[in-house]
Amino acid sequence: MPLPVLHLAFQTDQNYVDGLVATLCGVVRNLPRATRVEVFVIDCGILPETRHRLSRMLALRHPRVTLTFLLIDGDVLDRLPFPAGLQHANRSVYARLFLPELLPSLDRILYLDCDLIVDADLSPLAVLPLDGAVVAAARDEEQKNATGIAPDFNSGLMVMDLAAMRASNLTRRAVEIAGAQNTRHGDQTLLNSLLIGHWKRLDRRWNRQVFLLPTFSIFRTEPRTVWHIYMGRKPWHFHRKGARGLVAEYYELLEQAGWMPTFPAELYMNAAPGRDRLKRVRAALRRVALCCL
């Protein structure tokens, strides 16, 4: 009997490669051992030597993972509006819109952003009934009404019905309305505008949105959860020394993969150590209590 396969898609440039490694290794760590993983990365500007590092790391550390890089025409992305509301991003955020055309032989895929700390088995999402929806995603907890029609979903984790997207020409339609649409939040604005009434809501544990500050550490307060570190500050902006909570877990994932950070960190966590110790204990107790429910 063939092993079950989980198809994953990412998009990244050189700046988010470390986040890609941490996100992917978190996924693999939580999957059943019998699950194979096919990973497709839309290359929005990864250096050749970095692509080689990624392939070599996966071959050594995670041999059940196959990696394929997908090339996208940069001119196509350059013609799309700049996502002014995303201070941490550029036009590469639109790349996920082209997955139906980049993967013509696949009917379904799980898309993930590269700023996730995955503490859950994602294999149930591979077989999740979409009930006629084009995507399944969690509600956006910050931009609840960015399109003017509540609620909006967050595009950082999506189960995508690629076949339905191709049948409805969704990619072409998104490109066509991009010039006239308020694309403050990039692809997310376009997808929400086009998929009103055609998306299935996931529980927020699949995309628990949090943000980082140098003075405020975030600890895992819930079990079996995907933590989405959105907004401007990402784990790789902080030094390993003094890191706590999700930032420390990010670095642990890199260390387990044998991956040296691509860029030097800029910031130090300076949250009060005593307060963080108390937060860590409370978070652990809450996780245990929720696991028993």
**Do residues 117 and 246 make contact, with C-beta atoms less than 8 angstroms apart?**
yes
Q: In the structure, what pLDDT confidence band is assigned to residue 217 with cuts at 50, 70 and 90?
A: confident
Angle (CA) 271 259 5, round 5° = 105
pLDDT digits (tens, 9 = 90+) for 137-150: 999 987 655 556 66
What is the rounded average pLDDT for all residues in the chain? 91
Range with the poorest average pLDDT among 9-13, 137-141, 218-222: 218-222
Same domain, 195 and 218: no
pLDDT given at position 83: 66
Looking at 155, 189, 205, the residue that finishes a domain is: 205
pLDDT digits (tens, 9 = 90+) for 65-123: 999 999 998 888 888 877 655 556 678 899 999 999 999 999 999 999 999 999 999 99
Looking at 205, 230, 251, the residue that finishes a domain is: 205
Same domain, 75 and 15: yes
**Torsion, Cα of 25, 216, 93, 224 (10° steps):** 40
* Token digits of residue 203: 């529980």
Burial group, residue 274, by CB count within 10 angstroms (0-12, 13-18, 19+): exposed
Same domain, 24 and 155: yes
Same domain, 28 and 101: yes
Number of structural domains found in the chain: 2
CATH number for the domain that contains residue 46: 3.90.550.10
> Residue written as tokens 């652990």?
284
Same domain, 96 and 195: yes
Same domain, 198 and 226: no
255 or 277, which is more confident = 255
C-alpha span between 253 and 204 (Å, rounded): 23
Same domain, 125 and 240: no
**Domain containing 90: what range?**
5-205
**Do residues 62 and 25 make contact, with C-beta atoms less than 8 angstroms apart?**
yes
Angle (CA) 269 271 273, round 5° = 110
Please say if the pLDDT value at position 230 is more than 90: no
Range with the poorest average pLDDT among 32-41, 44-53, 89-98: 89-98
Same domain, 78 and 183: yes
Same domain, 117 and 262: no
C-alpha span between 223 and 128 (Å, rounded): 20
Same domain, 154 and 12: yes
Same domain, 96 and 168: yes
Strand bridging mode 5-12 / 108-112: parallel
Q: In the structure, what pLDDT confidence band is assigned to residue 182 with cuts at 50, 70 and 90?
A: low
Q: In the structure, what pLDDT confidence band is assigned to residue 64 with cuts at 50, 70 and 90?
A: very high
Q: In the structure, what pLDDT confidence band is assigned to residue 281 with cuts at 50, 70 and 90?
A: confident
Looking at 154, 176, 205, the residue that finishes a domain is: 205
Same domain, 180 and 50: yes
pLDDT given at position 76: 87
